C-alpha cells in the first residue's frame, strides 16, 4: 500500500476537494455577484407598479365610483379598447409617426454619416455641434419650435412669406400637424443616428474596401454590397434605440400640440395620459398601457433576435 | 474635361457645404432661443423679425424674481446627481459582469436589462403615483430618484458593458496573479482605465434625468418640482410668457450643452458599443 492512504493524507485530499468544489461553486456564482444588484433594484422598483397596473387593467376604476369598489370586469377593458375609435386612431398615429420619423432619420442619418466619414477639418467641432439637438431638453425643444412655427408671428412662416410662399398652419391644421411633429423629431434625433452610424463606419476593416476598389466596384456597389452588410450590427442597435424612443414619445408632442388638432397627433402615450390623468379611467388606461408594452416588447424581441443571432 | 484633382476638390467643397448646412440647421433653433431670451419683450414677436437689438437681461430677472427658480434648479441638480451616482455604481458592476464573464443566457439577460428602459413611462406612472402616495413620497426628490433609476440603470449597464469590454482582460489577469482579488482588480485596474467611459455614462445619465418631464410633472408639486416642469409654468391660462420661457429654457440647456460638448466622443462610442461587443 502506498503512503497516500494513511488517514492524515486522506483528510487533506478531501479538504482539497472540498476547497476545490467551493472554488468551483464560487466561480459559477461570481457573475451573479456583479450583475444581480442592478437587476434586484430594478425589480424592486418595477414589480409593484407593473403588477398593480396589470391588475387594474382587468378592473373598472373610475374616479366617481372607486370608493364603492373596483369591480373585476375581466378583459372588458381590452375588448372595449379595440372597438374604441380614439384608441385605434392613436395606434395608427403612433405607427405612422414611428415609421416616417425613424425612416427619414435613417436616410438622412446615413447620408450625413457617409459625409462625415471623410477626412475633414474641424471634425470634432462638427460632431459636437451636430450632437447638440439630441441632448436638448425635450420640453425646451417643444416650446422653441412652437415659437418658430407660430402661424402669425413665427419666423419660419415669415421667411416662407419673404420668398413668396404661403404661410403654413404648422401646428393647428390636422393634415399638417403630424408631418410638423415628425419634422421636429427628425431635427431632434437625426444626429444621433448619424453619429452612431459614423462610429460603425469608422470601426470597419479597410481591406474589403481596398479589394473592391481594385476590382473596380462602383460607389453604389460598394455601398450596397459592402458598407450596408458590414454596418448591420450598428444599424440594428441604432434602430432598437430609435424605435424604443419614438414609440413612447410624449413630451415633445405634448408641448407642441398636446395631441391636437382633432387628435391628429395623439399618440398612444398621449391617449393613455388623457384617460389616466384627465378622465381618471385608470383600468382603461392601464389596459391601453399593456397593449403598448406588448407591442413594444414584440418589436424589441424581433430586433434583439437579429442582434443575438449576429453574435453567434 | 475636369482634372481628377479638380473633381476631387469640387467634391470636397460640396461635402463641406452639406455638412455646414446640417450644422447650421442643428444649432439654429438653439441659437434662436438664446437670442430671444435677450430680446426686450416688445421685440419677441416683431414682424419682420428683429436680429439687431439692445440685449437685455430683463427676462432672466423675471425668471428669478419669484425666488423659486433657484430652488427648482437645485432640485434638478440633486435629483440628477443622486440618480446618476446610484445608477453608475450598480451599472458599473453589472457592466463589468457582462463584459468579463461568459454564462448561459447572457445575451438575453443583457437585452432584458433594457426592458425597463423600453417601458413607456406613461404605463407605470399611475401605479407609481398610487405607491408613492401611500408612502407619503409624492412631491419629494426621493420619488423622482426612484423613478429615474428605471431608465438610468439600464443605460449605465448598457454603456459600461461596452467600455469594460474595451479594457484588455490581460491587465486584470496579471494583477490577479500578483495577488489582487477580482474585486480589487476591478477597482484598481478596470475602473481607472474605463474612467472616460464612466464619465461619459455619468454625463448621459445626468442629461436624461435633467431633461425628464413626464414623471416630474405628475409626481411633484410645489416642493420637488424640477426645471422642465418649471418652464411650463410660464404658460398660463392668460398668456404664454415667451421671454421667460426663452430665458429659463436657455438656463436649462446651457449645462446640458456644455456637458455634451465635453463628452461627445465617448458618448457616441458608448451608445454604439454595448450591443455589438461584449
Phi and psi torsions of B100, nearest 5°: -105, -30
Please check whether residue A64 lies inside any domain of the structure.
no
B230 CB-contact burial (10 Å; exposed 0-12 / middle 13-18 / buried 19+)? buried
| pLDDT tens readout for residues A45-99 | 999 888 988 998 898 888 777 777 778 888 888 998 899 999 999 999 999 999 9
Torsion angle defined by CA atoms of residues B40, B46, B51 and B52, in that order, rounded to the nearest 10 degrees = -50
**Which positions in chain A touch B131 (Cβ < 8 Å)?**
48-49, 52
- Per-residue pLDDT, B274: 44
Return d(Cα B129, Cα A276) in angstroms, integer: 11
**Shared-domain flag, residues A212 and A116:** yes
Residues 6+ apart with CB under 8 A from A120: A126, B15, B16, B19
Question: How high is the ipTM of this complex?
Answer: 0.87
Q: Measure the CA–CA gap between B119 and B141, rounded to whole angstroms.
A: 22
Residue A174 and residue A258 in one domain: yes
In a domain, A63, yes or no: no
Domain check: are A168 and A265 in the same one?
Answer: yes
Q: Tell me how far CA of residue A132 lies from CA of B6, B55, B253, B256, B268, in angstroms.
A: 34, 24, 10, 9, 12
> What range defines the domain where residue A22 resides?
3-56
Query: Is B101 close to A120, i.e. CB distance below 8 A?
Result: no
Residues A146 and A44 in one domain: no
Task: Specify whether A188 is located in the same domain as A43.
Answer: no
Q: Which pLDDT score is estimated for B2? A: 64
- What was the pLDDT predicted at A14? 78
Buried b (16+ CB within 10 A) or exposed e, A25-57: eeeeeebeebbbbbbebbeebbeebbebbeebb
Q: How confident is the model at residue A181 (pLDDT cuts 50, 70, 90)?
A: very high
List the single residue in B with minimal CA-CA distance to A36. B94
Could A132 and B26 be called an inter-chain contact, meaning their C-beta atoms sit closer than 8 Å?
Answer: yes
Portion 104-163 of A in contact with B at CB < 8 A: 112, 115-116, 118, 120, 124, 126-133, 135-141, 143-145, 147-148, 150, 152-153, 155, 158, 162
What percent of chain A is modeled with pLDDT above 70? 95
**A 215-254 residues with CB below 8 A of B?**
233-234, 236-238, 240-241, 244, 247-248, 250-251, 254
Asked whether residue A65 is domain-assigned, the answer is no
Do both A50 and A96 map to the same domain? no
Share of chain B above pLDDT 70, in %: 95
pLDDT for the residue numbered B276: 40
Mean pLDDT of A207-223: 87
Domain shared by A147 and A295, yes or no: yes
- What rounded mean pLDDT belongs to chain B? 87
Q: Of B147, B253, B276, which is closest to A233 when you measure between CB atoms?
A: B276
Residue A13 lies in a domain: yes
Q: How would residue A8 be classed by pLDDT, with cut points 50, 70 and 90?
A: low
Q: In the predicted model, is pLDDT for residue B233 greater than 60?
A: yes
Residue A240, pLDDT above cutoff 80: yes
pLDDT band at A177 (very low <50, low <70, confident <90, very high): very high
- What pLDDT is stored for residue B182 in this prediction? 87
Domain match, A258 and A112 both: yes
Question: Would you state the cell numbers that stand for residue B189, as one nine-digit string?
Answer: 485596474
Residue B13: exposure state from Cβ atoms within 10 A (0-12, 13-18, ≥19): exposed
Residues A82 and A204 in one domain: yes
Q: Which chain A residue's Cα is nearest to B95? A: A35
Q: Is A89 near chain B, with CB under 8 Å? A: no
Does a cis peptide bond (omega within 30 degrees of 0) precede residue A261? Answer: yes
Q: How far is B76 from chain A (nearest CA, A)?
A: 12
Q: For an interface test with A, which of B21, B26, B106, B183 has the most A Cβ atoms less than 10 Å from its Cβ? A: B26
Query: Count of CB contacts below 8 A, A vs B?
Result: 265
Comparing A185 with A199, which gets the higher pLDDT? A185
What is the grid cell recorded at A259?
Answer: 395631441
For the stretch A255-265, what's the b/e string if a residue is b when 16 or more beta carbons lie within 10 angstroms of its beta carbon? bbbebbbebbb
Query: What is the DSSP code (8-state) at residue A281?
Result: B
A59: which chain B residues are within 8 Å (Cβ-Cβ)? none
Of the candidates B164, B99, B102, B180, the residue with the CA atom closest to the CA atom of residue A28 = B102
Residue at A62 is within a domain: no
pLDDT at B177 over 60: yes
Burial B121-146 (b: 16+ CB within 10 A, else e): bbbbbbbbbbbbeeeebbebbebbbb
A225 plus A279 within the same structural domain: yes
Q: A115 is written with which cell numbers?
A: 459625409
Say if residue B268's pLDDT is above 60. yes
pLDDT for residue B278 is more than 60: no
Q: Could you give the number of structural domains in chain A?
A: 2
pLDDT tier for residue A11 given thresholds of 50, 70 and 90: low
Indicate the pLDDT class of residue B28, thresholds 50, 70 and 90. Answer: very high
User: How many angstroms separate the first and last alpha carbons of chain B?
Assistant: 51
Give the pLDDT score at B277: 39
A36 and A123 fall within a common domain: no
**DSSP H or E run through B49:** none
Same domain, A163 and A92: yes
Cell digits of residue B178 = 500578483
Higher pLDDT, B61 or B115: B61
Q: How much of chain B exceeds pLDDT 90, in percent?
A: 40
Tell me the mean pLDDT in the region A239-268: 88
A292 interfacial to chain B (CB closer than 8 Å): yes
Mind listing the pLDDT tens digit for each residue in B200-226?
899 889 999 999 999 999 999 889 999
Amino acid at each position: 500500500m502506498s503512503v497516500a492512504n494513511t488517514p492524515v493524507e486522506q483528510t487533506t485530499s478531501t479538504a482539497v476537494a472540498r476547497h476545490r468544489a467551493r472554488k468551483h461553486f464560487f466561480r459559477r456564482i461570481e457573475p451573479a455577484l456583479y450583475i444581480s444588484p442592478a437587476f434586484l433594484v430594478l425589480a424592486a422598483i418595477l414589480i409593484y407598479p407593473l403588477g398593480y397596473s396589470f391588475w387594474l387593467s382587468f378592473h373598472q376604476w373610475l374616479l366617481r365610483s372607486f370608493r364603492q369598489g373596483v369591480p373585476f370586469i375581466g378583459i372588458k377593458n381590452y375588448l372595449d379598447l379595440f372597438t374604441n375609435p380614439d384608441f385605434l386612431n392613436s395606434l395608427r398615429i403612433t405607427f405612422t409617426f414611428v415609421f416616417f420619423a425613424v425612416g427619414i432619420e435613417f436616410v438622412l442619418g446615413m447620408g450625413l454619416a457617409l459625409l462625415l466619414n471623410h477626412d475633414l477639418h474641424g471634425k470634432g467641432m462638427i460632431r459636437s455641434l451636430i450632437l447638440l439637438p439630441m441632448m436638448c431638453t425635450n420640453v425646451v425643444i417643444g416650446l422653441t419650435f412652437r415659437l418658430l412655427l407660430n402661424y402669425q408671428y413665427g419666423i419660419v412662416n415669415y421667411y416662407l412669406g419673404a420668398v413668396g410662399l404661403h404661410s403654413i398652419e404648422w401646428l393647428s391644421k390636422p393634415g399638417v400637424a403630424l408631418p410638423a411633429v415628425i419634422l421636429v423629431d427628425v431635427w431632434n434625433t437625426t444626429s444621433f443616428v448619424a453619429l452612431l452610424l459614423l462610429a460603425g463606419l469608422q470601426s470597419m476593416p479597410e481591406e474589403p474596401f481596398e479589394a473592391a476598389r481594385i476590382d473596380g466596384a462602383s460607389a453604389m456597389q460598394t455601398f450596397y454590397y459592402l458598407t450596408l452588410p458590414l454596418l448591420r450590427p450598428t444599424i440594428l442597435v441604432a434602430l432598437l434605440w430609435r424605435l424604443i424612443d419614438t414609440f413612447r414619445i410624449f413630451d415633445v408632442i405634448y408641448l407642441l400640440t398636446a395631441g391636437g388638432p382633432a387628435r391628429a397627433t395623439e399618440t398612444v402615450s398621449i391617449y393613455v395620459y388623457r384617460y389616466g390623468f384627465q378622465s381618471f379611467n385608470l383600468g382603461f388606461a392601464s389596459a391601453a398601457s399593456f397593449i403598448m408594452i406588448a407591442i413594444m416588447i414584440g418589436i424589441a424581441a424581433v430586433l434583439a433576435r437579429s442582434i443575438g443571432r449576429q453574435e453567434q | 474635361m475636369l482634372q481628377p484633382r479638380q473633381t476631387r476638390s469640387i467634391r470636397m467643397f460640396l461635402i463641406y457645404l452639406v455638412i455646414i448646412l446640417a450644422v447650421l440647421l442643428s444649432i439654429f433653433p438653439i441659437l434662436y432661443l438664446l437670442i430671444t431670451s435677450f430680446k426686450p419683450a416688445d421685440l419677441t414677436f416683431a414682424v419682420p423679425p428683429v436680429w439687431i437689438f439692445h440685449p437685455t437681461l430683463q427676462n432672466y430677472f423675471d425668471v428669478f424674481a419669484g425666488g423659486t427658480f433657484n430652488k427648482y434648479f437645485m432640485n434638478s441638480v440633486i435629483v440628477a446627481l443622486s440618480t446618476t451616482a446610484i445608477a453608475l455604481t450598480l451599472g458599473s458592476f453589472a457592466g463589468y459582469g457582462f463584459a468579463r464573464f461568459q454564462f448561459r443566457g447572457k445575451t438575453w439577460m443583457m437585452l432584458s436589462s433594457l426592458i425597463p428602459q423600453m417601458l413607456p413611462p406613461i404605463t407605470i406612472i399611475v401605479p407609481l403615483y398610487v405607491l408613492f402616495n401611500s408612502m407619503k413620497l409624492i412631491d419629494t426628490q426621493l420619488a423622482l430618484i426612484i423613478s429615474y433609476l428605471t431608465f438610468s440603470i439600464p443605460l449605465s449597464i448598457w454603456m459600461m458593458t461596452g467600455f469594460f469590454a474595451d479594457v484588455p482582460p490581460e491587465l486584470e489577469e496579471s494583477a490577479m496573479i500578483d495577488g489582487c482579488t477580482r474585486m480589487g482588480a476591478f477597482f484598481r485596474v478596470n475602473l481607472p482605465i474605463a474612467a472616460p467611459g464612466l464619465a461619459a455614462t455619468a454625463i448621459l445619465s445626468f442629461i436624461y434625468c435633467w431633461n425628464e418631464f413626464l414623471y416630474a410633472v405628475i409626481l411633484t408639486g410645489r416642493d420637488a418640482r424640477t426645471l422642465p416642469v418649471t418652464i411650463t409654468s410660464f404658460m398660463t391660462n392668460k398668456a404664454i410668457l415667451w421671454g421667460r420661457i426663452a430665458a429659463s429654457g436657455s438656463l436649462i440647456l446651457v449645462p446640458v450643452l456644455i456637458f455634451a460638448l465635453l463628452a461627445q466622443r465617448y458618448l457616441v462610442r458608448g451608445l454604439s458599443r454595448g450591443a455589438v461587443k461584449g
